[in-house]
Amino acid sequence: MEAKWYIVQAHSNFEKRVQESLFAEAEQKGLSDLFEEILVPTEHVVEIRRGRKVESDRKYFPGYVLVKMVLTDEA
């Protein structure tokens, strides 16, 4: 089967934890071959705050995690 993109809704600011949890669960259950990518879409931004340059990562879609996987009953 072909892998497709799916969206997982998560609480805002917990996207990284959800990503790590999905990786861990897939490894634990032996399903890591079904998961191709698990992404939290971000962009690197340089802002000026109080006269200083501050580098940070800004999320494109806060509260969402993108998963490219083959959807099966086990996954």
- What pLDDT sits at residue 73? 83
CA angle 59, 12, 2 (to 5 degrees): 70
**Residue reference for tokens 């939290």:** 40
pTM of the model: 0.80
Q: Is the pLDDT of residue 75 over 80?
A: no
Q: Is the pLDDT of residue 63 over 80?
A: yes
- Which H or E run includes 52? strand 52-59
- What pLDDT sits at residue 68? 94
- For residue 7, the cross-strand partners are 66
11-62 per-position pLDDT tens digit: 988 999 999 999 999 999 999 899 999 999 999 999 999 999 999 989 989 9
